[in-house]
Amino acid sequence: MLTQFRTETATTSRSATLEAETLASLMVEDEAVVSDAPTYLPEAAGAVLLAALLLLSPKGPKEKPTR
């Protein structure tokens, strides 16, 4: 015997047109629109690097007090 399923029918609030449009958009997906590579900003990287190095740099040696 062939398998049969009981299925929901489209409700009035959810129009068949909207369902069909939604289905079409899922079946035919276009390629990604946004594809720009991140822009390289050397000056920005330099500022961040400088700040990081200043923060991370070890303090200068202190002289021990002489008697």
Partner 1 sequence: MPTAETPLRDEFAAAVERVADRTLAVLQDGEGTAALADPDSVVPRSLLAAVRVLGADLFAPRLLTGAEPDGTTAALLAEARAAFPAPAPSSEEAALVIGWQDWAAGRLLARTPYGSSGSDPAALSGPEAIGWQAWSKRMAQLSALALPTLDGPVHDAARAHTLDLARGTVRCMLRRDPTTAVRLARWLAWAHADGQALRLELEPVLDRIRFAGDGTARSTLELAIAQRLLHGPSNGATR
**How many Å apart are CA 63 and CA 51, to the nearest integer?**
27
Q: What is the dihedral of CA 26, 32, 34, 37, to 10 degrees?
A: 150
- Is residue 39 near partner 1 by the rule CB under 8 A? no
Q: Which stretch, 13-21, 39-47, 48-56, 57-65, contacts partner 1 (CB under 8 A)?
A: 13-21
CA distance 29 to 61: 63
Smaller CB distance to partner 1: residue 27 or 53? 27
Task: Report if residue 52 touches partner 1, rule: CB under 8 A.
Answer: no
Q: Which residues bind partner 1 (CB under 8 A)?
A: 2-10, 14, 17-32, 35, 37
